[in-house]
Amino acid sequence: MLKIRNLHAAIDGTPILKGIDLEVKPGEVHAIMGPNGSGKSTLSQVLAGNEDYEITDGEIILGDKNLLEMPTEQRAREGVFLAFQYPVEIPGVSNLQFLKTALNSIRSYHGQEELDAATFMRLAKEKIKQVNLDPAFLKRGVNEGFSGGEKKRNEIMQMLMLEPRLAILDETDSGLDIDALKVVADGVNALRHPERSVIMVTHYQRLLDYIVPDYVHVLAKGKIIKSGGKELALELEEKGYGWLGIEDSANA
Amino acid sequence: MNAVKKFPEALLCTAPQNSRLCEALQKLQQNARAQLDTLALPTRKNEDWRYSAAALSHLDTLSNNSTGQGAAEAASDGVSGYRLVLRNGLWQKDAGELPENHLVEVISFEQLNESDAALVSQSTLYQRSDLPFAQLNTAHFSEGLFIRIKKNQRLDQPLVIQYDSEDQGASYPKLFVLAESGAQATLIEEFTGASGETPACTVLTNSVTELRLQPQSQLTLIRLDLAGESVAHTGLTLAQLQRDSRLETHCAGFGGKLRRHDLKVALAEPGAECKLNGVCVTLGQQHYDNHTEIEHIASHCNSEENYRCIAADSSRIVFNGRIHIHRDAQKSNGAMNNRNLLLSNDAEIDTKPELEIYADDVKCAHGTTIGQLNEEELFYLLTRGIPKDQAATMLTLGFVVELVYQIPDENVRTLVEQKLEAFIHAAHV
């Protein structure tokens, strides 16, 4: 599904990712953990195609295509979805219009017919219920006036609508209460499929109680310094990052 | 010293006066005509015209052979309500449709009774020397319409006033709207005519609309500037609000070669309130100048103003928002916000908030921003598979649509949204 080889990325000339190697096979869920400032969010943004980051070396292959050669919108149409850590508010653009345009862009890319208004509405209402948001939100501006938890649930709602083959969750769990965390986890679990993969970037082990990963990686100073099974997350929860020879400012 | 630049000849020669106007109005017009000789065309040095003086050169291509001929038709753009049609400034009684329910009265200035005539002729308009185009209007207007919304009545449909100019030359529509005590109405001023692009200005619509809101009255004015490129438009809206009255304006301005709207609101008695909304867009080489002025004369008045402007290509928009809080206007509450979007490096928006505050117990806030499309918002849309040009269109439209949604008439909202979409498709985003 996804192969990242020797990925180096910098922002404003400052190197952030310093040689990432990662392979995610179809159907797998990978958790990427690590202290603040380790490059977790940078990796998410780079995968989605944020042009603020300069790729200085390495490659990212999705299926058999070179992701780095695609603009952001094409990556999305190829099935990459990023659930943002901080989703932006766009007043004046309604959720409904936004979702419909997005879904139909992706559908037409794959040679599928655009959904008619009624079918789309039915789908949107079904998915918004699934993440426990008021259907009235569909008519509001994108994330406009949403609470932190509502924004995160809206990200999951979009993910359920667009059915990506590679979902990247960038700290979707941070700032959520237990109920909202369950909603998010249920959404991700509902999407799990032998042909779909998930990368969860998280600071906390808590999310992994609800979405059980196949692999856990520790990212520090721009490199993956340790990989293991789900038990690695528990070990990190218990011992912190210190035993790996790195400091976590958040836990210090 | 340079000689004072005059208005072009086409705007100076006058037709014989309408002898059916009342004496006071004829006198005012004579005074204005007498001053035409010395009336100077504003230049860059004139602060009020600093950013728009260049656009005035488009007046040079006007001719004065206005015929006033041609059949007027009600515009078929989906805006509905009662309808008054003015063609080249003259009331077309055959076109349009007026209410028969006597909630509203439309009277030509020729038939004003004594007290109405006094109301019109004693307007502060004639004491001002800072409004050269209004002076031109006074010098030239031939008829003038008085609209009365009757005491404690609520007009059941909007009254659409359609200004059409299909002809050549200048027209000088003049309107005086009196909302009597406790009356409620929505007026839609629609400036139409001359669709399509032409290399030169052939028409000037130089309008003056006065609004007088008596105590407790509520007036909503929707002003749609939709005329084609070749129509130059300079318009003045002058409102005076009496005790506890409320004025709401929604202006939608689409650019042309020369477009200028002066909106001047006097909160003259306690408890008066105004809310001024405006959306303004330009593309190509277009121009649009918004000058607003809110005078807090009495205490306990509120004003709120929101303007959003988008300039594309190498067009130019001016927003000048003045709030003047007089010494006795304690407990005034004013808020002005102007946000602007530039869609190209060659576009220009000149925005200037002007706050003059002489009272000490007031709240008055203002905010102005100029920016380009928000990169973060754009990235967000792209990550969902939305093509870049479509994403840019959505964001651009979204920037002004918030204000469009506040227009309290569904047909107008639809029309403005359509026009905005057409604008965005025509502009190079």
DSSP summary character for residue A70: S
Confidence band for B200, pLDDT divided at 50, 70 and 90: confident
- A231 closest CA partner among A210, A205, A203: A205
Neighbours of B234 (CB within 10 A): 25
In this prediction, residues B307-328 reach a mean pLDDT of: 97
In this prediction, residues A218-224 reach a mean pLDDT of: 94
pLDDT tens, residue by residue, B246-304:
999 999 999 999 999 999 999 999 999 999 999 999 999 999 999 999 999 999 999 99
In this prediction, residues B65-88 reach a mean pLDDT of: 73
- Please, are residues A167 and A198 in contact by the beta-carbon 8 Å criterion? yes
In terms of C-beta density within 10 A (0-12 exposed, 13-18 middle, 19 or more buried), how is residue B98 classed?
Answer: middle
Are B380 and A102 inside 8 Å of each other by CB? no
Residues comprising chain B, all counted: 429
**Which pairs count as long-range contacts for A14-20, CB under 8 Å and 24+ apart, including other chains?**
A15/A56, A15/A222, A16/A42, A16/A53, A16/A222, A17/A42, A17/A43, A17/A46, A17/A222, A17/A223, A18/A221, A18/A222, A18/A223, A19/A57, A19/A58, A19/A222, A19/A223, A20/A58, A20/A219, A20/A222, A20/A223, A20/A224
CA distance, residue A158 to nearest chain B CA (Å): 9
Q: Provide, as residue numbers in chain B, all residues whose Cβ is less than 8 Å from the Cβ of A46.
A: none
pLDDT tens, residue by residue, A16-33:
999 999 999 999 999 999
Is the pLDDT assigned to residue A251 strictly greater than 50? no
Report in angstroms the alpha-carbon separations of A140 from A95, A135, B193, B398, B408.
Answer: 6, 10, 36, 12, 18
- B355 closest CA partner among B275, B306, B296: B296
Pick B10 or A249 by higher pLDDT.
Answer: B10
Pick B194 or A129 by higher pLDDT.
Answer: A129
Rounded distance, CA A46 to CA A50, Å? 6
Residue written as token pair 């520090």 = A220
Confidence band for B89, pLDDT divided at 50, 70 and 90: confident
CA distance, residue A223 to nearest chain B CA (Å): 25
CA distance, residue B337 to nearest chain A CA (Å): 16
Considering just the CA atoms, what is the radius of gyration of chain A in Å? 18
B379 touches chain A (CB under 8 A): yes
Confidence band for B9, pLDDT divided at 50, 70 and 90: confident
Neighbours of A147 (CB within 10 A): 11
Rounded distance, CA B304 to CA B314, Å? 30
- B221 closest CA partner among B408, B95, B413, B414: B408
Q: Provide, as residue numbers in chain B, all residues whose Cβ is less than 8 Å from the Cβ of A11.
A: none
- Please, are residues A19 and A43 in contact by the beta-carbon 8 Å criterion? no
| pLDDT at position B77 | 78
DSSP summary character for residue B111: G
pTM over 0.95: no
Torsion sign across C-alpha atoms B396, B402, B404, B410: positive
Q: Provide, as residue numbers in chain A, all residues whose Cβ is less than 8 Å from the Cβ of B386.
A: 73, 76, 98, 101-102, 105
Rounded distance, CA B285 to CA B317, Å? 11
Q: Which residues contact A117 (CB under 8 A, 6 or more apart)?
A: none
> In this complex, which of B374, B384, B402 lies closest to A76 when CB atoms are compared?
B384
CA within 13 Å, CB half, B273? 12
State ipTM. Answer: 0.95
The amino acid sitting at A45 is Q
> In this complex, which of B379, B388, B394 lies closest to A93 when CB atoms are compared?
B394
- What's the mean pLDDT when you consider all of chain A? 93
| pLDDT at position B4 | 76
| pLDDT at position B164 | 86
